[in-house]
Amino acid sequence: MAKGANAKRILAFTGAAAFMAVAVNLLIYVVNAHKEKRRKKRGLPGSNVRVNLSASEIKQLTDCIIAKSNEIHDVVASVHLEKVSYINAVAPLVDLEEYQYPLVQSCIFQKMVATSDDVRKASADAERRLDSHFLMCRKREDVYRVIKAFENRGEWLGPEAKRYVQCLSLDKTEEGKLKVFLRSCHVSPILEYCKIGSTRKSVAVAYWQRRGRENLDILENLVRLRHKFARVLGYSNYADYAIVPRMAKSSSKVFEFLEEVSDNVSDLATTELNFLKELKLKEEGDTFFGMEDLLYYIRRAEELHFNLDMAEVRQYFPVNLVLSGIFKILQDIFGLKFKEVKDIEIWHETVNLYAVLDLSSKELLGYVYLDMFSRQGKFAHTCVLSLQNGCSSSKGIQQLPVTLLISHFPKQIDECPALLRFSDVISLFHEFSHVVHHICNRATFSRFSGLHVEGDFVEIPSHLLENWCYENISLKLMSGFHKDITKSITNEMCKSLKKKRDLFSGLKLRQEILTCLFDQIIHSSDNIDIVELLRHLHPKIMLGIPLLDGTNPASFLSRSAICYDATCYSQLWSEVFAADIFVTKFQDDLLNQHAGLQFRNKVLAAGGSKEPLDILSDYLGRKPSIQSFIQIKARNSLPVPELK
């Protein structure tokens, strides 16, 4: 009887299992059939519109659109101005618009009709990202130069193609006046190039008034909520809450730092402003100098000071040569050897993996993946990601640091190598410093490894290494004319690039200090009238130049609202201490490996395991100072050119 019962139970179990297997297979069949049916429904003849995207598909498609757009704009920008034609300058942009328009609409129309909250949110996010990207594209001076060069050649075009090229300029009214939208791609060139002061002023006022009261209400509400949040956690104000875990430690220290820098650049900024006022007097007569004049006359002064064609400079920076130069500089300074690893699993054929070794001992220190070229679906900005922190486990097992550097440079086309803008060279060098920081970190605990350091300390190595982008010896290591790489960048170009960086640095610093002080005051005090605060603060910091009447600070000081609340000072803080290190240790010997190895072993290796101020003091042999920073700016900015 027992055996019979067991047999029945076994039969029942196997029968149920068989039934479940059939059910699962049926479910899989139904799901696949639904997917296939859905896929077939998308295939509307003659249409590339995608009408039923999920939230994740919208994000993925947005990434693809941005990556493809960057790739095409980089291709156009790389065309030599003497070889422009409709085929290489205009046609790629025409084809891009045709390709991307239905895809863009597929992403953004869902916010108006989708039944899912997630899809509507993803669609709205996609619209913001795409608007920001296309705004950036319209501001690309390198692409504009190519289009303008094509227009100047006078190549014959059909009427529709001719109208398309004309559409890349501003529209005109019936009276022949140019229409200007209040977008930075239109406003910035006007403030830099328009000779008529009244036009500059009207455009500046309109631009800085946009969405005034609405944005101001948002900022004021954010500040109130932040103070409330900080007090719940036991802090007297939000600024102290935000700064305590940073190198500065307190809001009062930030105020002290900003005031010290401001005072030390006051004379320099005054000299620069007086020069600009004299320049305006010469060009426009005895008229008041306002904020609307600053960009225009700085640009005019740069024209008087030196003549530097950035498009020509770009011809000297093929990406592979820049990369090999960076490797050589990092080897000479920090004793690091970058050795490519072949036949290893990667996610795309253009990705390279490098092992980083100590030059002397040959010890393997870590790895870095380089994913440097544009492609569809790829993240569209330059950055560094930590994939694995270097640390020792409690069992004594050493884990090597692994990092990834992402860029979006154009790929080589035929015989023409990918060329980098000078700003790209700086950006690449900047990000490589994060790679070096990550690889050289020797903290025991993962929490202190990688780039897990204070927010106002993490950028100090990056700002330090940026200095090498402006020195002859290092620029020549990274450069070579793309048609003959034995011809490096000229000494005159190197000199001009350095001058361009620091020209009118006093005034530029006062503008940065204005933003930082504003941010610090509203986040460290209650019931601040934001408009009245800036109306009082602006002329005090900007040497008597008042805030433009009727303009609203919330329109153009967005960093206080997003990402840098109470920490706008961080970038300037990092620049100041990086300058102290550069002047003290490297200025007289750019390839000083003794100082470099000390920096690697005392600063980079410590990671977040020690207090940053203690780390820097130990390396410098004293507390950091702002004086080196001030000296660099003053020395490179002056003398300003004489007026004739």
Long-range pairs of 158-166 with CB within 8 A, sequence gap ≥ 24: 161/86, 161/90, 164/90, 164/94, 165/90
Given a contact cutoff of 8 angstroms between Cβ atoms, the answer to whether 577 and 261 are in contact is no
User: Roughly what angle, to the nearest 10 degrees, separates helices 627-637 and 266-284?
Assistant: 20
Element (H, E) at 63: helix 55-77
Query: For tokens 């409709």, what's the residue?
Result: 86
Locate all alpha helices (DSSP H) within 564-626, ordered by sequence. Answer: 570-581, 593-598, 612-620
Name the burial class of residue 278, with classes exposed (0-12), middle (13-18) and buried (19+) by CB atoms within 10 angstroms of its CB.
Answer: middle
Given a contact cutoff of 8 angstroms between Cβ atoms, the answer to whether 237 and 226 are in contact is no
> Using only C-alpha atoms, what is the Rg of the chain?
29
Name the burial class of residue 171, with classes exposed (0-12), middle (13-18) and buried (19+) by CB atoms within 10 angstroms of its CB.
Answer: exposed
Q: Give the integer Cα–Cα distance in Å for 94 and 80.
A: 19
Q: How many separate helices (H) and strands (E) can be counted in the chain?
A: 26, 7
CA triplet 419, 423, 426: central angle to 5 degrees? 100
Residue 285 DSSP SS3: coil
> Which residue in the list 431, 454, 466, 512 is annotated as catalytic?
431
Nearest 10 degrees: Cα torsion 201, 204, 207, 209: -70
431 is catalytic: yes
Among residues 586, 608, 607, the alpha carbon closest in space to that of 595 is found at: 586
Q: Give the integer Cα–Cα distance in Å for 191 and 187.
A: 6
Reading the block at residue 332, the tokens are: 């000479």
Among residues 67, 35, 60, 57, the alpha carbon closest in space to that of 114 is found at: 57
Q: Give the integer Cα–Cα distance in Å for 630 and 386.
A: 34
**Which DSSP category does 551 fall into?**
-
Given a contact cutoff of 8 angstroms between Cβ atoms, the answer to whether 604 and 437 are in contact is yes
Q: Give the integer Cα–Cα distance in Å for 225 and 231.
A: 10
Q: Please count the other Cβ atoms lying within 10 Å of the Cβ belonging to residue 412.
A: 14
Element (H, E) at 61: helix 55-77
Among residues 411, 409, 440, the alpha carbon closest in space to that of 425 is found at: 409
Given a contact cutoff of 8 angstroms between Cβ atoms, the answer to whether 325 and 480 are in contact is no
Given a contact cutoff of 8 angstroms between Cβ atoms, the answer to whether 480 and 316 are in contact is yes
> Among all residues, which ones are annotated catalytic?
431
